[in-house]
Chains A and B, each alone.
Chain A
Amino acid sequence: MNRSFSVARAVALVGALVALVAFFLPWVTYTQRGFSGADLASTLSPALAAVKAGGIKGLDLGLWAVALAAVLAAIFILASWVRAADPREGRYRLWAAAAAITGLAFAVLFLASGLLGGTPDINFAPAAIRTDNAVKATVAKAIGAGDFVGIGIGVYLAIAGFAVAAIGAILARPATDERTWRTQDYVLLAVLAVVFGAIYWAWLGPYLGIETILAGVSAQLGQELLFGLWYVSGLLGGYIIRRPGAAFLSETLAAFAEVLLGAPAGPVLIVTGFMQALGPELTFAATGYRRWGWGTMAVAGAAAGIVALPWNWLRLGYFALDPGVMLGLFITRVIAGTVAGLAAKAIGDLVAATGSLNYFALGRERVREV
């Protein structure tokens, strides 16, 4: 088992380094020599000039924080590797994960600020959905000029790198830690995936119905709301089994089941599932797989949506949407995710009450003898 221990750590380390390098890729592309944040902002692109003018204060700090986070993550992973024999080496990995997640948060924030620019005028009335024209024009020019995308790729890679670092750090636990997975656990997750796949299929009709209705407002809105359903499967799996990797596996299996059942999105859905699985897994890991209350589940649900955002952004072309609308979608995503998390707990508890889960972690804590 020692081999995979190191593999996970190595992967985490690579992730952190990729984040470090990738974030500065665009700057490197444009052959900057000095790395003062303000300089970069004004020299690089007109869009970022708008940011400097009225956007995030302390842009410098933001930029450097990303680099710092990546470096810290790398250091902690190395520390955990060096001191693998220490029974509390998990601490180091937890710090590494925390650093990685912080870096991720900053990177996302930076990305968001680059797009939103000044204070957008968000008005959801259909006739008035516009934002500040100047910002729009500059962002458009930036897209056209390829600059923005140059930044975009760097930032996306950085985000990906941080995500990988966090996961690698968390999953690199020694196998002797927990009871090993039983066949029952795998079968349960597979069965959950298939059951939800069947439900998804049964509801596909109404889904398309909602989609077309909401297309009047926004097709993406319909999608966002229904993503919530897909989150429930993964969250439920994690909640029932309560082990590292359970939520992750559960959500990925749900996506795989949907592909096998002929879902329109194709094998790409597996990647989506993977992305949606990261949020809950990270949340549960952060609680040490010990806290399973309403709060944890709500956060896990919301996290599913948030962490998956960059991927879905790319896949569904959200980056071309009006920023006001994007914010609306983001909020919907967070709400749908939270509801999914709460729903998963409610359903899990009800099923546990029937005594069917007595052989699994969730059932064990509430066995009623008959």
Chain B
Amino acid sequence: MFARAQSLTIRHVGRKRPALQDLDLEWEEGERLLLLGPSGAGKSTFALCLDGLIPHALEAHWESGTLTVGGRDTRSASLAELTQDVGVLFQDPDTQLVMLETDDEIAFGLENLGLPRNEMRKRVAEARATTGLGPATPRRLDALSGGTKQRVTLASLLAMRPRALVLDEPTANLDPLAAREVVTAFAALATRRERSFLVIEHRLDPLLRFIDRVAVLGDDGRLALAGDPESVFMGRASDLDRLGIWQPELAELARVVGAEQMPRDVDEAAALLIDRWPRGAAVQRAERAPGRITGAAHDVAHRYRGDDHDAVNGVSLELYEGEISAIVGANGAGKSTLGLLLAGVLRPSRGTVAASDDVAYVFQYPERGFLATTVRNEVRYAATIGRRIARDPDALLERFGLARLADANPHSLSHGEKRRLSVASALVTSPTVLILDEPTFGQDLRNVRELVTILREERDRGTTVVLITHDLALVAELADRAIAMAGGAIGFAGRPDELFERSDLARFGLVLPPAAGAFARARESDRAIPPLTGLGAARTALVGRETVRA
């Protein structure tokens, strides 16, 4: 047994409720364990405890229980021993990097261990090889992409030769292509089985092949259920749904077509579809007539001060009433900049923008937009500057699960809570145009469902909704129009299903979501399989049809 938590109860400073409650969990030596649970506190807290960071580097209220890692009780062992045994990769590629250049970063942990220089050089080379950081990797860290930065941090941890590796949502802040980079690196390590792994993730499908066991935490920080992937994802699906936890799309897809075995990757899922998909079940395209124009950009360009290239270049776009558009693309493609231009907040260096004066914008980093000192006042802010309130602020707080935090300072909320607060604040005036930058970042299934419902309501009321996102599954489910950007220009504008059929998605930093990928792969062998964009489309297509039952 590598690690064991017994009745572990941990409460963070400044929080009333414990993040972990009476947790009993075992992690075997050499096991690849997947930890699931509601967004935020509990799982990351556990990761911090495994490393000894709680309690040695970060204060917390250790209310009860013990945690033994590598044979040591984490409270009495030294941080040095614990960090050498367990390496933790966190989600933000930028805050984990502490040096300025790649090799320095990888060697950082080794310097702390006091290794001689030639040993350091050897291990740095080794770590680079293991994580695929070839000689072409730029030296300066700020020149690296998000996925590469995460690999550098991973290399830095591996160089220390830990017995176990914990990955806490390593792809959460990355675009799909970068996420794939990191998952590939992880897969390579996981197959070699040289150490124990604990993974905390939302994007589950690429990991299914590399997981031995799944443990699920509940809302209250307790262990809700555990088991092998097949029995958990196929057998306990309704429990997972009730807990509001993301599930692998492929497992859901299998259930939708009535299969009992869980496909472990897109190929297996495609085979399943070829086997079981009722030919002829497809989705009718509902064409929407475009309403009036609520915003437009004409050949705009924008360059930030100090940059040597345009962030947005030669973009023309119109926004319509009662339509949900999604702007997708790799990090740095200019999506957020375009959003700000459409909101009328940034002035273009070239071209013109006609922006409605009733635009609400939800920032990618919500805390930057907070203006009040309590959550309640934040939602009501629009009223204080004389704008009309269309939705009941308290009802919105309730819907987003923020009611009990009404008197708290907005900055003291968790990431997910902050994001929901900023969306609520934007919705309160039911604006003409609503632009949301990464609204589903790090959110629970429950909250995303709520958001989808609300956005559909808004669209039906005639609001123009613009989503700037990496989440293609969300685009498939919700968007009427998809706009893909690359290098500051629009490379595609049309229906989401048309986007999914393209072969140059990598150019936009995009990867088909697993379910859509399964359909696409199945189509390669059998054209009769429809090009469905995701689970939502699949369910709709099967409505009224009998699914083949084994």
Contact = CB atoms under 8 A, between A and B. Distances in A.
B14 A370 contact: yes
Contacts of A358: 13-14
A41 to B, nearest CB: 59
Interface stretch (B235-243, B404-412, B526-534): B404-412
Contacts of A354: 409-412
Nearest to B58: A359
A332 B227 CA distance: 71
B373 A353 contact: yes
B57 interface: yes
B14 A368 contact: yes
For A183, A353, A369, the residue with the greatest tally of chain B CB atoms inside 10 Å of its CB is A369
A355 B14 contact: yes
B13 A359 contact: yes
Nearest to B60: A359
For A183, A184, A358, A370, the residue with the greatest tally of chain B CB atoms inside 10 Å of its CB is A370
Interface string B1-24: 000000000000111100000000
For A355, A358, A367, the residue with the greatest tally of chain B CB atoms inside 10 Å of its CB is A355
Contacts of B16: 369-370
A358 B12 CA distance: 10
A138 to B, nearest CB: 55
B413 interface: yes
A354 B370 CA distance: 11
Interface string A108-145: 00000000000000000000000000000000000000
Contacts of B58: 359
Contacts of B412: 354-356, 368, 370
A155 to B, nearest CB: 45
A204 to B, nearest CB: 15
B59 interface: yes
A356 B370 CA distance: 14
B412 to A, nearest CB: 3
Interface in B6-63: 13-16, 57-59
A370 B57 contact: no
B372 to A, nearest CB: 11
Contacts of B405: 370
A182 interface: yes
Interface residues of A, number: 13
Interface in A338-368: 353-356, 358-359, 367-368
B409 A353 contact: yes
A355 B375 CA distance: 13
B10 to A, nearest CB: 15
Contacts of A355: 14, 408-409, 411-412
B57 A182 contact: yes
Contacts of A368: 14, 408-409, 412
A27 B412 CA distance: 63
B312 to A, nearest CB: 24
Contact of B413 (A353, A359, A369, A370): A370
Interface in B403-452: 405, 408-413
A353 B372 CA distance: 12
Contacts of A184: 57
Contacts of B14: 355, 358, 367-370
B411 A356 contact: yes
Nearest to A353: B409
Contacts of B15: 369-370
Contact of A367 (B13, B57, B408, B410): B13
A203 to B, nearest CB: 16
B7 to A, nearest CB: 23
A359 B408 contact: no
A183 B57 CA distance: 8
Contacts of A367: 13-14
B401 to A, nearest CB: 14
A358 B59 CA distance: 9
A356 B413 CA distance: 10
B265 to A, nearest CB: 41
A183 B56 CA distance: 11
A45 to B, nearest CB: 56
Contacts of B13: 358-359, 367
Contacts of A356: 411-412
Contact of B59 (A353, A359, A369, A370): A359
Nearest to B16: A369
Contacts of B57: 182-184
Interface string B371-384: 00100000000000
Nearest to A357: B14
Contacts of A370: 14-16, 405, 408-409, 412-413
A163 to B, nearest CB: 35
A129 to B, nearest CB: 42
Contacts of B411: 354-356
A368 B407 CA distance: 10
25 contacts: A182-B57, A184-B57, A353-B373, A353-B409, A354-B409, A354-B410, A354-B411, A354-B412, A355-B14, A355-B412, A356-B411, A356-B412, A358-B13, A359-B58, A359-B59, A367-B14, A368-B14, A368-B408, A368-B412, A369-B14, A369-B16, A370-B16, A370-B405, A370-B408, A370-B413
Interface of B: 13-16, 57-59, 373, 405, 408-413
The 10 closest A-B pairs by CB, nearest first: A355-B412, A354-B411, A370-B408, A358-B14, A369-B16, A358-B13, A354-B409, A370-B412, A367-B14, A355-B14
Given A184-B57, A354-B411, 14 more contacts: A182-B57, A183-B57, A353-B409, A354-B410, A354-B412, A355-B14, A356-B412, A367-B13, A367-B14, A368-B408, A368-B412, A369-B14, A370-B16, A370-B412
